[in-house]
Amino acid sequence: MAALTQSFVSKLVLSACIAGGLSLGAARATAQTTSVELNDENALVRYALSHNLDLRSAHWDQDVASAGVSSASALSNPVARGEWLHVQSPNDYGFGLGLDWAPPQPGVYGAGKEAARARVRAVKSDFRERAAELEAGVRLGYARVAILEQEIALAEQSVGTRRSVHQAVKERMAHGAASRIDLSLAAVSLARGEQERDLLVLSRATAVSQLEALLGLPVDQTLDLKAGAPESDAADAKTSAAALEQRAVLQRPVLRADAARADAAEQTASAERAKRWPWLELQARYRRHDQSNYPDDVTLGLEVTLPIFNQNPGPIAAAEASRRQWQDVAAAHRSGIEHEVRALHAESERRREIAEHYAQSIAPVLGEHAALVKQALAGMELDLTALLSAEDLVTRGGIEYLEARLAQRQAQIALARALGQYGQAGGAGSQ
């Protein structure tokens, strides 16, 4: 038994040395980086909307679409023509100058501009949808870090209790009131508690790293985050699912983008239909020839295109199909959003009930258990197996309670995302 205990203690010492070495290496690595302190959830959202590289790159799509409006509004360029007359007779040389220009065709010109403007609206709505997705991700990341910090604090408290029990068992064993088996049991419980705490610390580091990527922090900067309790949004819990569905239909940027694309397809189809009508081209020409009865010859002309043999059925059919496609896409998106809102509303309600139940059943037990352990240690009245089992159950129950609160917050964020409440600030797109 002594050899077993010595081996176990040696493994604990080795694990502590390895953990210390990793911590020292991490400290040396982070010593070369700068720290950015953002401890407020809304501040994190604002920073991400301004610095996330993917969102900033998507902002340029709006400039491209705006340039399309300028292109659609531009008039066609005139065509200049020069002529050298009577080349075959060197003594009778002359020259001519011409200018051709096609004015904008009614229906085609206006519909082209409206289609370009509709594409701008669609791109802006797409950008807001991406900004909403980013904001929801940042809020979910913050909620996860906040809950992990509370779980780490709970695990630290449990480790402190287990360490006190381990010390008490050592003292009892020194006086012959406990066996080495009791000490090994207490040591195993302490090691397991420390392992759970270390895993939670690792999970928090991973969550912070993922949050740093969402924020768009440079690689030489780290996020110094001390998150508070995750926020709670109970306003939508009192609203009916039908009212929330109607709100989502009015607010979701993706539906506005679908409507804008359908409008652009409609304008494109209108322009293609207008091209089936005859249109004109203006011509002007000046010629100079001394041997003619009229040395200065000025000619004005009008050229009319008659689309008799080319009725443009292909472009019109394609534009009509695109318009119907975007109408069906909009209907599918709307149906999906309505079902999503209804399901998330029910889930949010259920998660809230679960969190409230945990708060009523677990939270009082945590405080009572800490007081009972303190009394037991003070009176050296230890039923070691029952005490450590209770410590495991209470710690696990506390973590499950915090996980229930996290799940409630995640459901609230998902519901707010489905309702279109996020991404309204616009981030880089508002600049």
Tell me yes or no: is domain 36-430 CATH 3.40.190.10.
no
Query: What pLDDT is attached to residue 379?
Result: 57
Query: What pLDDT is attached to residue 332?
Result: 92
**With a threshold of 0.95, does the pTM exceed it?**
no
The whole-angstrom separation of Cα 285 and Cα 141 is 71
List the beta bridge partners of residue 287: 96, 297
Question: 37 — phi, psi (to 5°)?
Answer: -100, 115
Query: What pLDDT is attached to residue 290?
Result: 67
Query: What pLDDT is attached to residue 248?
Result: 86
What does the domain layout of the chain look like in residue ranges? Answer: 36-430
The structure tokens 């991973």 sit at: 206
Query: What pLDDT is attached to residue 403?
Result: 86
| Dihedral (CA of 287, 292, 296, 299) sign | negative
Could you list the pLDDT tens digit for every one of the 431 residues in the chain? 344 344 443 444 334 443 444 443 444 444 456 766 677 888 888 888 888 888 888 888 888 888 888 888 888 888 888 888 777 777 777 778 888 888 888 888 888 888 889 999 999 999 999 999 999 999 999 999 989 988 898 888 888 888 887 887 787 778 776 667 777 777 888 888 888 899 999 998 898 888 888 888 888 888 888 766 656 654 455 678 888 888 888 888 898 898 898 888 888 888 888 887 888 888 888 887 766 666 777 788 888 877 766 666 777 888 888 888 888 988 998 899 888 898 888 888 888 888 888 777 776 766 666 666 666 666 555 566 666 776 777 788 788 888 888 888 888 888 888 888 887 665 554 44
Is the distance from CB of 138 to CB of 227 less than 8 angstroms? no
The whole-angstrom separation of Cα 234 and Cα 228 is 18
Q: Count other Cβ atoms within 10 Å, centred on residue 115.
A: 23
Query: What pLDDT is attached to residue 202?
Result: 92
The whole-angstrom separation of Cα 375 and Cα 68 is 77
